[in-house]
Amino acid sequence: MENKTAYVYILASKRNGTLYTGVSNNLIKRIYEHKNSMVEGFTSKYNVHSLVYYEASESIVSAIEREKQIKAGSRKKKILLIENKNSEWKDLYDELI
């Protein structure tokens, strides 16, 4: 299996709002899809569109492992993860494009 950068990300509906954790090997495209409700599901149903956290991994396998680790953590841990890197809960999508 070829190593390729993959990303784990967290979206929020608002500061301290509904959170969604996902993984993708094309972060810009995936967040665009979330923002434009191109895929039916949790993020479109609950209007969870702000990219508040992301991190790169060396492979999709390691990104999926990290996603599972984040999802298994408490909401408090997710909020701390976000606030350690993005204390203002800014939408980071514009910085990517």
For 38-85, the pLDDT digits (tens) are 989 999 999 999 999 999 999 999 999 999 999 999 999 999 999 999
Q: For residues 9 and 64, is the Cβ–Cβ distance under 8 A?
A: no
State the pairing for strand pair 50-57/19-24: unpaired
Q: For residues 92 and 54, is the Cβ–Cβ distance under 8 A?
A: yes
Q: Rounded to a whole number, what is the distance in angstroms from the first to the last CA of the chain?
A: 28
Q: How confident is the model at residue 2 (pLDDT cuts 50, 70, 90)?
A: low
CA 53 and chain centroid, separation: 6
Q: What is the pLDDT of residues 14-38, one digit of tens each?
A: 999 999 999 999 999 999 999 999 9
What domains can be seen in the chain, in order of their start residue? 6-96 (3.40.1440.10)
Q: How confident is the model at residue 1 (pLDDT cuts 50, 70, 90)?
A: very low
Angle at 30 between CA 3 and CA 49, to 5 degrees: 140
Find all residues with CB under 8 Å of 45, minimum gap 6, and list them: none
pTM of the model: 0.94
